[in-house]
Amino acid sequence: MTPLNLMILRVVMLTVGRFYPNQVRRLLQKLLITGKDAAPFKFVRQLQWQDGAWLVTDELKSDAWDQVESAGIGGDQTSIYVVMSRTFQRGQLQPWLDLTDKAKALQPGQILKLQRKL
């Protein structure tokens, strides 16, 4: 949030939010968190326990792979802002798994499939 947005939020909370805190909270959640448009992708993750390790199968489908600029898997990825969702975890220090080349090689409608053992 920018300083101007923080000042506006503070004024709203000191006026309207003082008397209607739950309504303001619901409105902010809808605008900032749950009111986002769906991404143009379909994602499926399967977890299977095999031979003492997790087999993770990720599938990502897109109708327009040519519009994808970059793709990857990171340990610290978040798609929405939730207060306290960004507390430090050691997994944030892991490097990203870059899948950009694989995504760019796909034709529209094809599935990007990745299997990993953890």
Domain spans of the chain, in order of start:
3-34, 37-70+93-118
* Size (the chain), residues: 118
Written as six digits, the tokens of 6 are 């923080």
With 0-12 / 13-18 / 19 or more C-beta atoms within 10 angstroms meaning exposed / middle / buried, residue 71 is buried
Cα distance between residue 8 and residue 107, in whole Å: 46
This prediction's pTM: 0.61
Contact 96, 74 (CB under 8 A): yes
Phi, psi angles (nearest 5°) of residue 10: -60, -45
**Strand 41-50, strand 53-62: pairing:** antiparallel
Cα distance between residue 19 and residue 15, in whole Å: 7
**Per-residue pLDDT for the chain (118 aa), expressed as one digit of tens each?**
688 888 988 898 899 988 998 998 888 888 777 767 777 889 999 999 999 999 999 999 988 888 888 888 887 766 665 655 666 677 778 888 899 999 989 988 899 999 999 8
